[in-house]
């Protein structure tokens, strides 16, 4: 049996979330002390409902894509598709994880991207296209590049701390200051 690789190595190598989850389940990847949001279902039996959770509002790829392109009008459909494919093994998981990601972004007023119903909150927050940001894919970046980027913008540090394969950066609407 091969020696398991560190979790961060798998993330920085650009492995898909599905492959990372499979590696964690099989013991091929060392489990980190804290799992990122996109891996929360790792310990759940397939098909089992999440404990103490309300049924989520159904969101599809088109709606999530519209949110991301509202934030970053320069985001190409192929760049969105790359990030979409990385965050889950099926469209329902992907939509849920990216909705959660956007709704948990810290905003300048101290709130999150969405209060209460995440979908309604995101629709309201992103309506009108007044909030702009840059979506940057981190998966192909070297250690040196990531370290240099982390020195320039707190959005990069946030993404690295949360082991996200991309970052939302360069927006006045977001407040990355520590609480």
Residue 51 forms part of a structural domain: no
User: 148 and 94, same structural domain?
Assistant: yes
177 assigned to some structural domain? no
Task: Quote the CA–CA distance of 92 and 80 in Å, as a whole number.
Answer: 16
Residue 47 resides in a domain: no
In a domain, 156, yes or no: yes
CA distance 46 to 107: 34
In this predicted model, what pLDDT tens digit does every residue of 94-142 receive, in sequence order? Answer: 888 888 888 777 654 444 444 457 788 788 878 777 778 889 999 889 9
Q: Tell me, yes or no, whether 107 lies in a domain.
A: yes
Task: State whether 65 and 119 are in the same domain.
Answer: yes
Whole-Å CA distances, 52 to 17, 34, 37, 169: 24, 20, 16, 33
- Domain assignment present for 35: yes
Q: Encoding tokens for residue 9? A: 């190595």
Which residues span the domain enclosing 99?
Answer: 61-169
Same domain, 127 and 81: yes
Same domain flag for 11 and 74: no
Looking at the structure, do residues 34 and 99 belong to the same domain, yes or no?
no
Do 91 and 16 lie in one domain? The reply is: no
Domain shared by 71 and 120, yes or no? yes
- Number of structural domains found in the chain: 2
- Give domain status of residue 53, yes or no: no
How many Å apart are CA 12 and CA 29, to the nearest integer? Answer: 13
- Is 146 found in the same domain as 65? yes
Cα-Cα end-to-end distance for the chain: 44
As a whole number, the mean pLDDT across the chain is: 77
Same domain, 72 and 150: yes
Are residues 164 and 93 part of one domain? yes
Is 104 a member of any domain?
A: yes
Helix (H, G, I), strand (E, B) or coil at 31: coil
**Residues 86, 165: contact at Cβ < 8 Å?**
yes
pLDDT, residue 78, reads: 93
Q: Do 33 and 70 fall within a single domain?
A: no
Same domain, 102 and 159: yes
Per-residue pLDDT of the chain (179 residues; tens, 9 = 90+): 678 888 888 887 778 877 888 888 888 888 887 777 777 667 665 555 554 444 445 688 999 999 899 889 999 999 999 989 988 888 888 888 888 888 777 654 444 444 457 788 788 878 777 778 889 999 889 989 999 998 888 788 888 888 888 888 876 545 544 43
């Amino acid at each position: 049996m091969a020696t398991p690789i560190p979790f961060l190595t798998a993330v920085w190598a650009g492995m898909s979330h599905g492959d990372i989850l499979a590696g964690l389940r099989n013991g091929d990847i060392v489990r980190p002390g804290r799992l990122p949001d996109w891996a929360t279902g790792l310990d759940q039996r397939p098909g089992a409902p999440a404990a103490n959770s309300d049924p989520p509002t159904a969101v599809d790829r088109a709606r999530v894509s519209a949110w991301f392109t509202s934030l970053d009008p320069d985001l190409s459909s192929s760049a969105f598709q790359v990030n979409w494919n990385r965050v889950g093994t099926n469209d329902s998981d992907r939509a849920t994880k990216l909705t959660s990601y956007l709704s948990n972004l810290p905003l300048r007023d101290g709130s999150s991207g969405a209060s209460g119903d995440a979908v309604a909150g995101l629709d309201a927050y992103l309506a009108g296209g007044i909030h702009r940001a840059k979506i940057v894919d981190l998966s192909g970046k070297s250690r040196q590049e990531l370290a240099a980027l982390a020195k320039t913008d707190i959005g990069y540090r946030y993404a690295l701390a949360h082991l996200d394969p991309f970052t939302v950066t360069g927006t006045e609407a977001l407040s990355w200051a520590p609480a």
